[in-house]
Amino acid sequence: MAFTPCWSAEALETYNRLKQDAEAALEHRRKSDKSKSSRAEGLFKQVHKCITLLLENPRHPGLQTHEFHSLQHPYVRNAKVFEAYVQQKTPAAYRLFWCYGPTPAEITILSITAHP
């Protein structure tokens, strides 16, 4: 079953910023005739892939999804919030925080952030 994304304002803002940074880096790379993609392009590609996998199968092994206790569920008290890995074995690796809801067919993306 594929899920529909529901975005928090913070997560949508971060996603759009990462996308704009990647597009700007791609444009600069094309103008300077470089072939290697930039860090911004790679990060956005990883975030986009993580979201795609999450919406297709929240239990995908590559996401290493697990419960996260420091955030509160925005819709249901005492419901679980989860953390999925965008990057691994990287300093300040990015993480995606999400929960089920508000409807059974939706996943709310709460935050996309670098791991402290």
Taking only the tens place, the pLDDT of each residue in 50-106 is 999 999 999 999 999 999 999 899 998 889 999 999 999 888 899 999 999 999 999
pTM of the predicted model, to two decimals? 0.91
User: How many domains, in total, are found in the chain?
Assistant: 1
The tokens describing 6, both together, are: 């529901």
The tokens describing 104, both together, are: 């059974």
Smallest Cα–Cα separation from 106: which of 4, 14, 1?
4
41: domain range?
4-114
